[in-house]
Amino acid sequence: MHYSPRSGRGHLSALVAPLLALAINQAQAGQVEVLHWWTSGGEARSAALLKEMLEKQGHSWKDFAVAGGGGESAMTVLKTRAVSGNPPAAAQIKGHDIQEWAELGFLASLDDTATAEGWDKVLSPVVTKVMKSDGHYVAVPINVHRVNWLWANPAVFTKAGATIPGSWEEFITAADKIQAAGLIPLAHGGQPWQDATLFEAVALATLGTDDYSRAFVDHDIRVLSGDKMVLALERFKSLRQYIDRDSAGRDWNIATGMVISGDAAMQIMGDWAKGEFAAAGKVPGQDYRCVAAPGTATAFAFNIDSLAFFKLRTKDDQNAQQVLASTILSPAFQKAFNINKGSIPVRLDMVMDGFDQCAVDSMAAFRSANANGTLVPSWSHGLATTSQIQGALTDVISNYFNDDKTTAQEAANKMARAVKAAM
Ligand code: GAL
């Protein structure tokens, strides 16, 4: 800057004003430590965007990533930190767990920000119900993931002379052809939460949305141990023959990578898988196809990611939490984040330009399922029930899938007993 003594007051204020602004900004700068499990390629890109948008507003982000798809490890770490009186400022907490943490007195209210920004007007009541405890906002929703998707590599289908399936019968026909051609029909990671995710898709198709809700939301014991559940379990078990031998312990994104590379034909997984295709530069409709999991075209099993905020002591940090919450629901963030993450915006007033065909299809499916009563919460991702019941069901499902001793009827009875015990 060129200094001229004659510039007098004008010059001084030009010099001092930015310093003052800096001082004010510094006084208001807070830090938010964010616990999440977004560590795969697509997930990490998405989390980085939120960090960047927060930091642009003068606050700092302390990353607390705990690897492990589905978030079970992250939740274990969170409990340890909270019990020792040192919870992070924000944590990825979902579904019923939000109310549990709120009832224990851990969570800060987001009501001021929510009222100022009209959250009630831009969010669906299906979503706000999950984010509120006792009528108060204690969490901010980030996105809507659809869990019942099938991801397919069309080149593999062409090689095997198979057609991308819409029903379970078609799935079996296609999988047999792909296997006969010496290729892997189904990419899967043998981790309990992935077994549960796969079973959820089969159960949704076999039970239909009404009985799905009776079993996994209302915990109707007769449906849990009934004939349709037994059939769902049989179908589920029959998928094992289409999975390669090395699946034990495999992470979900490695399984997605098998479809991307053409080592496998399909994966049944929520649309966070699309984040992996996107991170690999793949184009839907061309390099890969997204269709509803077999037999679930009219259903939408939803999984909403959300951040809950823990009570903090300093005003600056509290302020930074509110800024983070407000950033998450800003249209700019909703668009950029969800394009990377594979989900759709949680705001109802967003136009879908810039989103790919899978996201446009997902939004259409969400709206029509909402209107037709076929929108159901994902139990395997913590939206339908408590984490105790989710955990108990996951154990039964995963053990049944991986051993050869239990019959489908025995597994169904075990599910009913496990739910009863955890209620
Ligand atoms: C889900 C979560 C998604 C995705 C997935 C795999 O539970 O809602 O955002 O990250 O786990 O890690």
- For the beta sheet containing 145-146, the strands, ordered from the edge strand earlier in sequence to the opposite edge, are 145-146, 300-303, 375-377
Between the CA of 47 and the centroid of ligand 1 the distance, in Å, is 12
Provide DSSP, 214-275.
HHHTS--HHHHTSHHHHHHHHHHHHGGGGB-TT-BT--HHHHHHHHHHTSEEEEE--TTHHH
Which of the listed residues 96, 144, 145, 341 should we mutate to test ligand 1's pocket, taking the one with most ligand atoms within 8 A of CB? 145
Closest Cα to atom 7, ligand 1: which residue? 70
Question: Does residue 117 carry a pLDDT above 50?
Answer: yes
Which of the listed residues 34, 35, 36, 37 should we mutate to test ligand 1's pocket, taking the one with most ligand atoms within 8 A of CB? 37
Grouping H, G, I as helix, E, B as strand and the rest as coil, residue 48 is: helix
Between the CA of 138 and the centroid of ligand 1 the distance, in Å, is 20
Q: Where are the domains of the chain?
A: 29-145+303-360, 146-302+379-422
Classify domain 29-145+303-360 at the CATH class level: alpha beta
Between the CA of 205 and the centroid of ligand 1 the distance, in Å, is 22
Count how many Cα atoms sit within 13 Å of the Cα of residue 303 in the half-sphere of its side chain.
23
Q: In whole angstroms, how far apart are CA 169 and each of 207, 211, 265?
A: 15, 21, 17
Ligand 1 atom index nearest CA of 382: 7
Band of pLDDT at residue 26, cut at 50, 70 and 90: low
194 lines ligand 1 (CB under 6 A): no
The whole-number average pLDDT for the span 121-148 is 97
Question: Does residue 406 carry a pLDDT above 70?
Answer: yes
**For residue 5, what is the DSSP state?**
G
Ligand 1 atom index nearest CA of 341: 9
What is the CATH number assigned to the segment(s) 146-302+379-422? 3.40.190.10
Q: What is the tens place of the pLDDT at every residue in 261-308?
A: 999 999 999 999 999 999 999 999 999 999 999 999 999 999 999 999
Between the CA of 344 and the centroid of ligand 1 the distance, in Å, is 14
Min mean pLDDT across 22-26, 149-153, 249-253 is at 22-26
Q: Average pLDDT over the chain, rounded to whole?
A: 94
- Specify which residues 344 forms β-bridges with: 144
Topology match between the domains 29-145+303-360 and 146-302+379-422: yes
Between the CA of 215 and the centroid of ligand 1 the distance, in Å, is 23
Q: What is the tens place of the pLDDT at every residue in 181-199?
A: 999 999 999 999 999 999 9
